[in-house]
Structure 1
Amino acid sequence: MCGRLNVTDNPLLTELLEQLGIHLYPASASNDAAPEQLALHLPVRTGRFIRATNLVSIVLQQDGQRRLQDAIWWLLLEQTEQGFKPGPYTSFNTRSDKLHVRGSAGFQAYRQQRCIIPASGFGETEIVQGISRYTDFIGQRALAFSGLYRTWLNKSTGELTYSCSIITLAPHQKLLAFHSKAMPMMLPPSAFDLWLDPDSNINQFNELLQPKIYTALQAIPINKPSLYQPIGNEVAIEAD
């Protein structure tokens, strides 16, 4: 995955967040929701072109409670006089084949600090004969990306900074024509609770680590992410 997200504030995104137990507005919560669920959350960070190192909204669960949290989309940070910034090693993605490698960036987070990154779509870049080819993928429904997060404490100020990455899987056959290296890991609603529970046994995730498309996608070839001008026919990609 090449490090860009599309997060559009629309009913599809709101529906996904509510499935995750995040009620952005008290009026949208059910009448029997617990008082803590009725609290306003941070606004969702939206944008058509959110790139790696930007702040993104993640959903995490701590002490039995779920919330939206701002996180830097780059798992490994380094401290500066002003706080924390993305480190020198690329870490906006975490390869699934590294999750069980002790000492790797995502080893401990995969076991205790999993999150979900909600989005409307994502972008991929493929280099063909030395030329970059860009494709954006928009979900028929909002997408729940499997993420990892870490926390970084500024000992001088006591401020806590969150960082995150998206797990990537082996390429999916349906996406090979657009990106041949990897695909972002997505979750079906049936796996939301299991994934967010810090106490879940990670052996239960083995099937989820197989490349699978849970939501139909529309592949849109564009000239470049910053301009976002379609340059070819859209391609419909069916869910598995």
Structure 2
Amino acid sequence: MCGRLNVIDDMFVQALMEDLRVNNSDEMLYSRFKMPTNDISIVRETEDGERQLQTATWWLLQQTTYHGFKPSRFTSFNTRSDKLNQPNSAGFTPFRESRCIVIAKGFGETETKGSRNVYHDFIAENAAVAFGGLYREWQHPKTGESRVSCSIITNPPHPDLLPYHSKASPMILPEDESIMDAWLSPHNQQVDMFDELLTPALRHDFIAQKIDKPSLHNAIGKPSRLTPNDFLAAQRSTNE
């Protein structure tokens, strides 16, 4: 799963927003530590083709309260890729109608070992990360309040991430303009074209750092470089 985001203001995050033609990049919500139920920035495309940052609650399913909304009791900050094509699942309709991109510098994972949690942060090296996400729009029946919520899609565990997290890996989109365009288009419901994205892929070099706890992020030991096999294969293909 992907349970923490690092969204710092650096040149690679800025460059990715520029590549995606985001027209309000000054509204990005920056923070080194974003966690589920926080407000984060997503990139969405409007019906007229404009790319915008939209503030969204990182918890796809929202519950109506008397005065507003609160996160549903059903965990939904991640949406499993194997549920995307199940008609009654929370992600089925958003996968076809309201996909988004979550831009970050890195992410964090938690692995439970015995009775304790072990935390690692992963920072993209010389890159920013484009996570594949979903969003929903809500309107309160009494107050008229509008809210947008989102989730990050997760794939099965990535082999190179297994030493750090054994349950899942985040969907990371490739640096391919045609795929990004198709992903963001609200008019594109041909989701079969995204089948390859449902396979674990990290796509970047990462610096992996063990930390004491996410809120403090004090380093434990030395960082290590994580160069996933799929990234090496992509580099070889590019050079051929």
Is TM > 0.5 for Structure 1 vs Structure 2? yes
Measure how far apart 1:2 and its partner are.
4.5
**Is 1:114 aligned to 2:102, yes or no?**
no
Distance in structure 2 (CA, Å) of the matches to 1:50 and 1:212: 22
Q: Partner of 1:60 in structure 2?
A: 44
Q: Partner of 1:105 in structure 2?
A: 90
Measure how far apart 1:169 and its partner are.
0.3
- Residues 86-116 of structure 1: CA deviation (Å, up to 9, x unaligned): 1110000000011111111101000111000
Tell me which amino acid in the other structure corresponds to 1:188.
P
Q: Partner of 1:51 in structure 2?
A: 35
**Is 1:194 aligned to 2:182, yes or no?**
yes
Distance in structure 1 (CA, Å) of the matches to 2:114 and 2:74: 27
1:225 to 208, 214, 219: 214
Tell me which amino acid in the other structure corresponds to 1:55.
D
1:130 to 115, 140, 144: 115
Tell me which amino acid in the other structure corresponds to 1:122.
F
Q: Which runs of 5 or more structure 2 residues have no equivalent in the other structure?
A: 232-240
Q: 2:100·2:132 contact (CA, 8 Å) conserved in 1?
A: yes
**Is 1:82 aligned to 2:70, yes or no?**
no
TM-score, scaled to structure 2? 0.90
Size of the aligned set, in residue pairs, is 224
| 1:158 alignment partner, SS class | coil
TM-score, scaled to structure 1? 0.90
Q: Give 1 or 2: higher strand fraction.
A: 1
Cα RMSD after superposing both structures: 1.3
Q: Partner of 2:150 in structure 1?
A: 164
Q: Partner of 2:202 in structure 1?
A: 213
Q: 2:94·2:134 contact (CA, 8 Å) conserved in 1?
A: yes
| 1:179 alignment partner, SS class | coil
Q: 1:42·1:68 contact (CA, 8 Å) conserved in 2?
A: no
Distance in structure 2 (CA, Å) of the matches to 1:120 and 1:173: 21
- Residues 122-175 of structure 1: CA deviation (Å, up to 9, x unaligned): 100001122210000001111000000000012334332100000000111110
Measure how far apart 1:193 and its partner are.
0.6
Distance in structure 2 (CA, Å) of the matches to 1:19 and 1:160: 29
Q: 1:56·1:73 contact (CA, 8 Å) conserved in 2?
A: yes
Tell me which amino acid in the other structure corresponds to 1:12.
F
